[in-house]
Amino acid sequence: MAYEHPLAYVLGLEGLALLRSFRGEHDHAFVAERLAEIRRLLAESPDGVEVAHVDPVEGYDLWAPTYDAPNPAFDFDEPFVREVACRLSPGVALDAACGTGRVAAVLAECGHRVVGVDSSPGMLEQARKRLPDGEFHVGSLTALPSGPVDLVTCSLALTHVPDLGPVFAEFARVLRPGGRVVIADVHPEQVARGHVPAVRRADGAPGRVRSHCHRTGDYLRAAFAAGLEPVRCEEPVAPAREIPAAEPGPWETWPWSLAGLAPAAAQAAGADVPSMILWEFRN
């Protein structure tokens, strides 16, 4: 259980913005505006919310019907997967933590025979509707089908795994010699800043899918231990966008769009921070 207080988040943004000012990215006026805004925010003192951190199976079952709504992460992972998958000769592709099958559909478009695995029955139901010719199984990232396969993909899932080592070992186990592993994840900088999936539980209570912050080196150490060699790493940054001002809503409006409480600080704190981390490994 976590206590999500709007000021805990917004003052964190203000602090990040001020640290960037301290190293010379912003001027005296910007600093004065941030300090004045902090005083105003402290005077308002809105209420917070108790939020449960839920198991990924529960979280993704709840999220499954709306998961494919527009998501900026999809603009990064799908083209990356497509580039690798279409570069390889058609073979067997395993989509680990396949979710609703959106990445599996990309693999099929590139000519691969697709096997998908996910721990969420709700997600698999959506995947089977999307790709009727695919082969989908209930399973976990540490107990994949026996293989061998030519390509393993895993998108937006490893942040929910406490230890990357067993997962990378399983990827390597099912992969043919010379095969590829493609991973797309929320960037650790974003996870550290609290960008974790939010869901409403069956009783209406707020929840977030339990997540873990894996640093860049954690992926590399797990890959090397499994005998996988890094081919490429990319850390794309989302285009800058205007953040409209907002007021903190009552509990019923959770999850709040809290960046709007301090738009200038949010812009400064998030400037040039990567949104995702994308990997290609070979066996």
Q: What does the pLDDT read at residue 123?
A: 95
Dihedral in degrees, nearest 10, Cα atoms 261, 267, 269, 275: 110
| pLDDT higher than threshold 80 for residue 41 | yes
The mean pLDDT value of the chain amounts to 94
**How far apart are alpha carbons 205 and 200 in whole angstroms?**
6
* Average pLDDT for 237-265: 84
Under the banding of pLDDT at 50, 70 and 90, the label for residue 70 is: confident
- Please state whether beta strands 92-96 and 175-186 pair in parallel, antiparallel, or not at all (unpaired): unpaired
Q: What does the pLDDT read at residue 47?
A: 83
Q: What does the pLDDT read at residue 46?
A: 76
**How far apart are alpha carbons 212 and 158 in whole angstroms?**
8
**Contacts with 41 (C-beta within 8 Å, 6 or more apart), sequence order:** 7, 10, 11, 14, 261, 262
Q: What does the pLDDT read at residue 248?
A: 67
List residues bridging with 180 in a β-sheet: 151, 282
Q: What does the pLDDT read at residue 177?
A: 96
* Average pLDDT for 203-207: 93
Rg of the chain, C-alpha, whole Å: 20
| pTM given for the model | 0.93
**How far apart are alpha carbons 269 and 266 in whole angstroms?**
5
User: For tokens 């592709």, what's the residue?
Assistant: 93
* Average pLDDT for 238-258: 80
List residues bridging with 208 in a β-sheet: 53, 198
The pLDDT tens digits of the residues spanning 160-171 come to 999 999 999 999
